[in-house]
Amino acid sequence: MDGKSDKIKAENGQSIKAGRAVNITVNVIFAAALFVFLISFAISLPIVNRWFY
C-alpha cells in the first residue's frame, strides 16, 4: 500500500514532502494521545483501587 502511494507521489516531489509531514504529524498526535491516555490511566488506578477496598 505504501509502495504504490510512494510511486504515485514520486511524480511530483512536493507531494512526497507533504505526505511525510502529514505522516509525522499523525504519528506525533497518536503518540501524544497514547501518552496522555497512559498518564490518566496511571493517575486513576489508585483511585479505582480505593473504591474496591
What was the pLDDT predicted at 49? 84
Structural domain total, the chain: 1
Helix 2-9, helix 13-52: angle, nearest 10: 140
Q: Which three cell numbers stand for residue 2?
A: 505504501
Instruction: Give the type of residue at 21.
Output: A
Residue 35's pLDDT is what?
A: 97
The pTM for the full model equals 0.50
Q: What is the pLDDT of residue 22?
A: 84
Kindly give the confidence (pLDDT) of every residue in the chain, 53 residues in length, as a single tens digit, with 9 standing for 90 and above: 555 555 555 555 555 566 778 889 999 999 999 999 999 988 988 888 888 76
Q: Which domain does 28 fall in, by range?
A: 2-52
Angle, CA of 15, 8 and 12, to the nearest 5° = 40
